[in-house]
Structures are given as C-alpha cells and as structure tokens.
C-alpha cells in the first residue's frame, strides 16, 4: 500500500493541502521574473504573451504553438506553453510552465519555469533542463 501525505491529511484533517507553485515547477529551470512585464494584467493570457509574441518569426519550417490554460486549485491557474519548429539546428523548441493567481488588480504571474526541446542528440524531442548539444 502506498502512502500519500496530501490524501492522508485531507482524510484526517478535512482539508486539502496544495503544493506551492514553486514545488510544481519540478523538472523546469526557474525563470527570473524580477524584470518580467507585465507582472499583473486584466487577463491571464496577457501575462504570458511575451513568451509567444514573436513566434513564429518566419514562415519557414513547421512552427507550432500550443497553450494549455487550466484551473489548478482555488485561486490558481496553471499554464503550459510549447513552442516548436525553431530555425536552429540544435534547439527545436521550448516548453514553459507557469502559475497565475488572482489579485485585486487582475491576474498575477507568480512563478514560471522553462525547459528546452532539443533537435538532435540522444534525447531529441524530449524536454530537458539541460542545454542542447
């Protein structure tokens, strides 16, 4: 039998224990948000628009953009953004994961993580926190 601490606490204490947004970025390199603009916005999509604003930058290759925005607990939204088809022989794309909370002034980007999708090497096509060869 496997023991699950959050489930056990819910059963015995009657409330759900949520992991912090930082803990849910496991497997991603944290992005420094100290200079991120905008940090708050009236819409969640406006917060992450700087990630995909210039993609694709040309109509060569097969550029793709995938955005998954979903509720991730009380007051939280999770966003996954995948950009593929970079015009780079080493990096095929990037994958981002962010957590957004509701504030008095709209939405706030709390944490953001990033990983690379390599175009070549043993792990080609698999997201990684490592640099691509």
Task: Round to whole Å and give the CA distance between 83 and 93.
Answer: 5
pTM of the model: 0.81
Number of domains in the chain: 1
Task: Round to whole Å and give the CA distance between 101 and 130.
Answer: 29
Domain-embedded: residue 117: yes
Domain-embedded: residue 35: yes
Domain-embedded: residue 5: no
Domain-embedded: residue 39: yes
Question: Are the CB atoms for 76 and 101 separated by under 8 Å?
Answer: yes
Largest CA distance in the chain: 57
* Strand segments (E) across the chain: 29-30, 40-41, 64-71, 76-84, 91-103, 106-118, 127-128
Q: Which residue in 97, 99, 96, 70 sits closest to 83, CA to CA?
A: 96
Domain-embedded: residue 133: no
pLDDT per position as a tens digit, 2-44: 444 444 433 444 444 455 667 788 999 999 999 999 989 999 9
Domain-embedded: residue 6: no
Domain-embedded: residue 118: yes
Domain-embedded: residue 1: no
pLDDT per position as a tens digit, 111-126: 999 999 999 998 899 9
Q: Residue 115 sits in which domain range? A: 19-53+60-128
For range 62-81, the mean pLDDT:
94
Task: Round to whole Å and give the CA distance between 18 and 40.
Answer: 23
């Amino acid at each position: 039998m496997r023991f699950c601490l959050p489930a056990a606490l819910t059963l015995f204490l009657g409330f759900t224990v949520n992991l912090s947004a930082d803990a849910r970025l496991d497997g991603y390199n944290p992005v420094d948000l100290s200079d991120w603009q905008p940090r708050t916005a009236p819409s969640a999509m406006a917060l992450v628009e700087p990630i995909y604003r210039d993609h694709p930058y040309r109509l060569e290759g097969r550029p793709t953009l995938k955005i998954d925005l979903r509720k991730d607990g009380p007051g939280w939204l999770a966003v996954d953004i995948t950009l593929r088809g970079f015009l780079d022989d080493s990096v095929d794309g990037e994958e981002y994961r962010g957590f957004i909370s509701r504030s008095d002034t709209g939405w706030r980007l709390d944490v953001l993580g990033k990983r690379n999708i390599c175009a070549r090497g043993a792990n080609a096509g698999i997201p990684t926190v490592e640099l691509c060869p």
